[in-house]
Amino acid sequence: MKLKIKKTLNKIFSKTFIKVSCMKIVVMKKNLKKFISYSILCTLSMSILFGCGKSDNINKEGKRQVEVFLTKAEAIGTFKKFEEKFEEENPDIDVTINCPAQAMTVLKTRLVKNDIPDIITMAGELNYADFIDAGILEDLSSEKEIIDRIQPAYLEVLKSLEFENTDGVFGIPYACNAGGVVYNKDIFNELGLSIPSTWDEFIQLSENIKNQGIVPFSFSLKDSWTAMPAWNAITANTQPIDFFCKA
């Protein structure tokens, strides 16, 4: 088992020094596309959303109502700008942006009541797979004009989030974070070190730096959570999908 994990770590490390560690996705509620074309929705989200929703709601002014449910409060300002642009170009549609406190808890409570927002933004995590299994998300694979503009690697990440491989594309990435290793070039030159290309070389390099009386790593840039992504990536690539469920 240790040998298998070691080989996997070498494979992960040798692919690239920088990894995508977090993805934000947009989904669409089923049947929303029959009222609003996906290309129009992409204007709202700068061409990247994933879906759900109450697509047949009409307000007193006769406008079709579309709810965008955000789970990331710091994105409200950006989506407000999308809302203004979208409504200017589509005066027959009224967009409401909703981002409550404890957003995911609120969202799950609503889903139990079959009160599904039209469009949901969320992180690329287990809830995405749960929503696919529940059958509430629209399959967007027919939107070739949009899908073809997405990096294949990002679509692979989306697929990797599913519990079981399901035909279709149920989410579209609109933001990604990357994690990597930043090194001190002066220290490397002083000690005559070279950049490692495998996990074994990485560990040996760290030992060599430590033996010179230098602390080899500084994980936190400011907040302590910044130390987590690298270990999350290693765990995700070496452990079964239900690893965190058992923790």
Q: Which tens digit of pLDDT belongs to each residue from 129-169? A: 888 888 888 888 888 888 888 888 888 888 888 888 889 98
Whole-structure pTM value: 0.65
| Whether 159 contacts 196, CB under 8 Å | no
| Alpha carbon distance 26, 228 (integer Å) | 24
- Per-residue pLDDT tens digits for 181-218: 888 999 999 999 999 988 899 999 999 999 999 999 88
pLDDT band at 29 (very low <50, low <70, confident <90, very high): low
| Whether 230 contacts 179, CB under 8 Å | yes
Domain positions in the chain are 2-17+181-241, 21-178
Max intra-chain CA distance, the chain: 73
Task: Please say if the pLDDT value at position 106 is more than 60.
Answer: yes
Quick one: CATH architecture of 21-178?
3-Layer(aba) Sandwich (3.40)
Task: Please say if the pLDDT value at position 232 is more than 80.
Answer: no
If phi > 0 it is left, if psi is from -120 to 50 it is alpha, else beta; for residue 17 that is alpha
| Alpha carbon distance 132, 124 (integer Å) | 12
